[in-house]
Amino acid sequence: MTHPRRRLAVAGALAVATALAVTACGSDDDGGTTAAGEGDSVAVTLITKDSINPFFVAMQDGAKEVAETENVDLTIAAGAEDGDEEGQIQAIENAIAAGEQGILIVPNGPGVNPAIERARDAGLFVIALDTPPDPADIVDITFATDNFEAGELIGQWAAAQLGGEPATIALLDLFNDKIVSVDYNRDQGFLSGMGIELGDDKRNGDEPATGNYSGGTYEIVCNEPTGGAEDGGRTAMENCLTRNPDVNVVYTINEPSAAGAYAALEAAGVAEDVLIVSVDGGCDGVQAVKDGRIGATSQQYPLLMASEGVKAIADIARGGEAPQPSDGLDFFNTGVALVTDTPADGVESIDTTEGADKCWG
């Protein structure tokens, strides 16, 4: 079931390099930075949420590789942890002070928005990666997975695997103290894919706790924050099992939290009875699908986000034009694929062999 507010984009990840549409450069002030000549180096800062999560490490590696070929002077910065807005704000201020041409950022939350506005006012072109900010036009453009679609795919898969059995669901989210688009889009997409009626699709936890999904009845046991980390996933899963030990479906915000959830389920002796689904598609996550620890994961392409972002800023700084969002979306969709070795009728997927060919980390 597709939520009526969403339009699923069909752009594949491998088509991004040739499918970029263009429009005029989007920064709204001509002060602060200097346009680069054809052979000049372009200065760009990449700011990730942290430097620990394999997803962001892969993103950094992808940016570094392209920076060498594009004559880009790349600075790598990150928050101390997922959610660290102050660390990201300082990195933005540093890029402004250095007179750089652009910033790539995976925003840790709305607290970074004023700093992003200052950067754009200073003439820097700002591209968000992975996590579209709210509002979307706080940056010039976002290169990201359609996170709602990523959630829908694993939700549709889980519903099909249940075969009409009652679903007792644990939702292991990112935060419970701030609202971030990647968090609510994946969670709400998963519920939509399950066929569960949503409340506000930009808020986690306000849907009915019990009711019917596409195949039968459901109960949502918990919405627990994980911080996107393995230890957070384990603690969150332990808390959910305390509330209801009969959980049989676990949604996780990402694969590190899925690893923690599996560890908690294994320690409780119930791992074999639970479907775990996730989003990321890193090499460790694909292996976890192959080994049966995760049932299915929606694969993203962080190297593509970062590499296309570096290329875009380099091109713009040298007088080129800026990319436009994908049709029907407010960001450029870098693609998603469901990875599983247990395909479900009506849900498009790839197996772990193909997933391993495309994985990162």
pLDDT digits (tens, 9 = 90+) for 122-131: 999 999 999 8
Extract the runs of DSSP E, i.e. beta strands, from the chain: 22-23, 42-48, 72-78, 102-105, 125-129, 141-144, 167-173, 210-212, 217-225, 249-252, 275-280, 296-299, 322-323, 332-333, 337-339
- Provide the pLDDT for residue 154: 99
**More confident position, 361 or 235:** 235
Is residue 289's pLDDT more than 90? yes
Token duo for residue 133? 């900010």
Contact of 99 with 34, CB cutoff 8 Å: yes
The pLDDT-based confidence of 2 (bands split at 50, 70, 90) is very low
Whether pLDDT at 181 is above 80: yes
CATH class of 42-144+302-323: alpha beta
Between 95 and 10, the more confident residue is: 95
Q: Which residues pair with 252 in a beta bridge?
A: 172
Maximum average pLDDT range among 2-16, 36-50, 219-233: 219-233
Range in 26-40, 218-232, 292-306, 328-342 with the lowest mean pLDDT? 26-40
Share of the chain above pLDDT 90, in %: 87
Model pTM score: 0.85
Kindly tell me if the per-residue pLDDT of 23 is higher than 90: no
Is 195 in contact with 143 (CB distance < 8 Å)? no
Kindly tell me if the per-residue pLDDT of 22 is higher than 60: no
With 70 as the cut, is the pLDDT of residue 25 above it? Answer: no
Q: Give all strands (DSSP E) within 199-266, no chain letters.
A: 210-212, 217-225, 249-252
Q: Tell me the Cα Rg of the chain.
A: 20
> How far apart, in Å, are the Cα atoms of 168 and each of 156, 220, 250, 275, 315?
15, 6, 9, 10, 50
pLDDT greater than 50 at residue 14: no
CATH match for 147-299+337-358 among 2.60.200.20, 1.10.10.10, 3.40.50.2300, 3.20.19.10: 3.40.50.2300
> What CA–CA distance (Å, rounded) separates 43 from 274?
48
In angstroms, how far apart are the furthest CA atoms of the chain? Answer: 63
- Does the structure show a pLDDT above 60 at 198? yes
Instruction: Assess contact for 181 and 259: CB atoms under 8 A.
Output: no
Beta bridge partners of 127: 104, 141
Res 18 pLDDT > 80: no
| pLDDT at 24 exceeding the cut of 80 | no
pLDDT at 37: 61
Q: What is the DSSP string of 325-357?
A: PPTTSSSEE---EEE-SS-BTTB--B-HHHHHH
Q: Where in the chain is the domain with CATH 3.40.50.2300?
A: 42-144+302-323, 147-299+337-358
Confidence of residue 38 (pLDDT cuts 50, 70, 90): low
Q: Can you give the pLDDT at residue 207?
A: 97
Q: Is the pLDDT of residue 1 over 60?
A: no
> Which pLDDT belongs to residue 36?
65
Within 10 A of 80 (CB to CB), how many other CB atoms are there?
14
Segment 4-32 mean pLDDT: 37
Q: What is the rounded distance in angstroms from the CA atom of residue 335 to the CA atom of residue 305?
A: 10
Q: Rounded CA gap, 74 and 186, in Å?
A: 30
Task: For residue range 296-332, list pLDDT tens digits in order.
Answer: 999 999 999 999 999 999 999 999 999 999 999 999 9
In the structure encoding, which two tokens stand for residue 84, read together? 């660290």
- Would you state the pLDDT for residue 17? 36
Question: 236-283, pLDDT tens digit by residue?
Answer: 999 999 999 999 999 999 999 999 999 999 999 999 999 999 999 999
Q: What is the band of 33 on the pLDDT scale with cuts at 50, 70, 90?
A: low
Answer for the pair 258, 236: CB distance below 8 angstroms, yes or no.
no
Work out the percent of the chain whose per-residue pLDDT is above 70. 89
